Amino acid sequence: MVDLQQPGTLLASQFKKKTIKVAGRLLDFSTPVVMGIINLTPDSFYEGSRFEANQDKLLQAAGQMIADGAKILDVGGYSTRPGAAEVSELEESDRVLGAIEALSQSFPSLIISVDTFRAEVARKAVMAGASIINDVSGGNLDEGMFGVVAESGVPYVLMHMRGTPQTMVKQNRYNNLIRDVVQEIAAKLDKLNSLGVADVIVDPGFGFAKNVPQNFELLNNLEYFQNLDAALLIGLSRKSMIWRSLETTADESLNGTTALNMTALQKGANILRVHDVKEAVETIKLWKLTTLRN
């Protein structure tokens, strides 16, 4: 088990910075980077991120995200919002594989992440051009996932979740939220390390088996995740913890997203996963100006 030490009061410049090998080159997190969200689903919670099967719209949106400063684009074909409908493996593959091929051909230097919890979809996506596997279930929903990650040799985003997208809202009872989440992730890191997986990115899983107060508790205690010695991905973009707290909607949650992304950066985030790339890049620039750097 990881030693959940009290992190104390740390400056952002004191956090460990990570470098991972991806797509044949090193991705340096000494300055945090932005991951743009590409949803190929009709029912993702934020309408502005949906591109479905429209390749022209997909490539146009991707080009704009890259121009705005995104280092990674995360492509998903299965909505994981609470209560989302089940999608077959075939349908998910049909949604993402063509898009990944089109993106890799149009933008050869782009780092593409596939957002899937299915091992076979992940394997095919890597063959199609994806160079990161982003698994919201942290290996819980497909026992073959860790093997595919080890065989593919690509970085793996290990997210914390309990249950499934259909049941996770009922899986939010913890003895100690921060300790439980960190230790559950640590156990999986040990397993991945035993399989020879070197490049793992940790995502605490905001909104996944966590209610609104728990999400804010998680954000307030991100320092503890430094004990895992892994790069930290934070996905807060337009989530219900924002719009429920502000009594607005996902469409009206950009300002709240920016505010919480700044908090995440101050607490050690290495990757911001967002719908709105330009604003996230600007947030990082301002964070750099207000942070003591070595």
Query: If you count DSSP H runs as helices and E runs as strands, how many of each does the chain have, helices first?
Result: 9, 10
Q: Which of 162, 273, 285, 293 is catalytic?
A: 273
> Who contacts 275 (Cβ-Cβ below 8 Å, separation ≥6)?
36, 37, 46, 48, 49, 237, 238, 257
User: Read out DSSP for 77-107?
Assistant: SS--STTPPP--HHHHHHHHHHHHHHHHHH-
Contacts of 140-147 with CB under 8 Å at 24 or more apart are 141/117, 142/117, 142/118, 144/119, 144/120, 145/117, 145/118, 145/119, 146/191, 146/192, 146/195, 146/197, 147/119, 147/195
List the Cα angle 10/11/16 in 5-degree steps.
Answer: 80
Of residues 223, 241, 282, the one with CA closest to residue 45: 241
Q: Which of 118, 162, 238, 239 is catalytic?
A: 239
Q: Is residue 273 annotated as part of the catalytic site, yes or no?
A: yes
Distance in angstroms (rounded) separating the CA atoms of residues 129 and 117: 17
Pairing between β-strand 156-159 and β-strand 132-135 as defined by DSSP bridges: parallel
Residues 274/37, Cβ–Cβ less than 8 Å: yes
Q: Is residue 50 annotated as part of the catalytic site, yes or no?
A: no
Q: What torsion do the CA atoms of 7, 180, 159, 18 make, to the nearest 10 degrees?
A: 20
Give catalytic residues, as residue numbers: 239, 273
